[in-house]
Structure 1
Amino acid sequence: MWVRSLILSLILLFGFWAHAEEIHANPYRLMSYVAEQTFSRLAKIDRQADDAQQQLEAIVRQQLMPHIDYRYAAFAVLGKHIKKTSKQQRDDFAEAFQEYLVSTYTQALAQYKQQQVLIEPERALGEQTKLGVRAQLIDADRPPINLEFKFRKLKNSSANSADRWLAYDLIAEGVSLLSTKQSEMDSLIRADGIDGVIQLLRDKNLATQE
């Protein structure tokens, strides 16, 4: 009996891995999957509950962050300043920026009120290594919000595994989160230095958690 159970478990696990690889190999399917998982969990949250904020943050960490290339985004935000940083500073900035993204997306999801999300139809990927997937947030009480998620393809070193796509930027109504933060951080780094900006991000992250 235990042998049959083990075999069944392995089959189910293999099926899960195959499904996960298929999703990550296509940014359109990945976006649809993440949206479905995220908004289905959001719909179950009681916004009046004492731990509603913690539930929202958990959704961001579990459903969104695994599919976001936060290190690539962090280094893009550093821009030309990255040449003057040490490996430790880059790692510290990436970690602080990751937590900043968690706070940003948690605040954004707090505004969700059962709006409909429409994602553009899947297109052929060809040889592209970067592309944008457009979506609309439909609200009956106001004009739709146009969104575009930027993805990049990460080559897999294993011949037996497919390449993976991760998101690195969100463009809302034509405004890039990455470009906005790059401009903001450029001024802050000039004024306070990279260590000062890392501490600033850490302080902001702590403030949002209190």
Structure 2
Amino acid sequence: MKMILSMLFALLIVLAPVTAQELAPDAMVRQVTEDVLTVVRQDKDIQSGNTRKAIDLVENKVLPYFNFQRMTALAVGRDWNKATPEQKKILTEEFRTLLVRTYSNALTSYKNQTVVYKPSKIPEGETNVVVRTEVVQPGSKPIQLDYTLEKQGNGWKVYDVVVAGVSLVTNYRDTFKQEVNNSGIDGLITLLGNRNKQLAAGKK
């Protein structure tokens, strides 16, 4: 649960809507973090386990700043090229739903975490960067969070999050590969769909 919660903060910290999207990615992380965490700290409904409200928060403040298709392609790996355009669309939608529900459930477990920012040296004109921070949790060791972002137009989008050395994207790859080997792309779609139904029903 701590790792899932940390991944959630990674998403919220980097991806909350900002008006100054032309900021460098590290500056954007610093600017939006406190605003987003303030909302979470003040929302007693979310802290009391209101998953629907947590889902609304994630959908409204996070999703527009994610490249879910690239994330899904990286998670599926080489098998992505086996999928038809329609299968790719469904896979992306199901993976997106899986992440939203997972993070929303974790968000209800927020317990006064804070963020420490690591110095960044981002070359001018760079379009693919890693921003490093730590989540500090009372009574626990800090958790290293690395965000991989790419520049699209005037803004930045995240396509991977690394928590304590574990990539959010590649963490799913072995499971996805095994399912494709056993049941094909449609089997993977079914696996994700069933998992989303379990999460929607409140099953861990």
8 A Cα contact 1:41 1:59, kept in partner: no
Shift of 1:127: 3.1
8 A Cα contact 2:179 2:188, kept in partner: yes
Aligned pair partner of 1:200 in 173, 191, 198? 191
8 A Cα contact 2:134 2:145, kept in partner: yes
Shift of 1:107: 2.9
Letter of the 2:175 counterpart? E
Unaligned runs of 5+ in 2: 1-17
Measured in 2, the distance between the counterparts of 1:112 and 1:51 equals 10
8 A Cα contact 1:37 1:63, kept in partner: no
1:81-92 alignment, distance < 5 Å: 81-92=79-90
- The structure-2 alpha-carbon separation of the partners of 1:178 and 1:51, relative to structure 1 and needing over 3 Å to count, comes to closer
Is 1:188 matched with 2:179?
A: yes
Deviations along 1:140-183, whole A, 9 cap, x unmatched?
311111111111122x3xxxxx3x21011111110111111122
Shift of 1:125: 3.6
Match of residue 56 from structure 2: 58
Measured in 1, the distance between the counterparts of 2:78 and 2:181 equals 11
Measured in 1, the distance between the counterparts of 2:87 and 2:197 equals 19
Shift of 1:43: 0.8
Aligned pair partner of 1:36 in 34, 37, 44? 34
Structure possessing the higher relative contact order (Cα contacts under 8 Å, 6 or more residues apart): 2
Is 1:105 matched with 2:103?
A: yes
Is 1:124 matched with 2:122?
A: yes
8 A Cα contact 2:47 2:109, kept in partner: no
Measured in 2, the distance between the counterparts of 1:88 and 1:177 equals 24
CA RMSD across the alignment: 2.1
Measured in 2, the distance between the counterparts of 1:25 and 1:50 equals 34
Aligned residue-pair number: 184
Measured in 1, the distance between the counterparts of 2:42 and 2:178 equals 41
| TM-score, structure 2 normalization | 0.81
Unaligned runs of 5+ in 1: 1-18, 157-161
Aligned pair partner of 2:71 in 67, 70, 73? 73
Deviations along 1:48-97, whole A, 9 cap, x unmatched?
88761111111111122221111110111121112211100000101111
- Runs of 4+ residues deviating >4 angstroms: 47-51
Deviations along 1:88-110, whole A, 9 cap, x unmatched?
00001011111111022223323
- The structure-2 alpha-carbon separation of the partners of 1:125 and 1:56, relative to structure 1 and needing over 3 Å to count, comes to farther
Match of residue 209 from structure 1: 200
Higher-Rg structure is 1
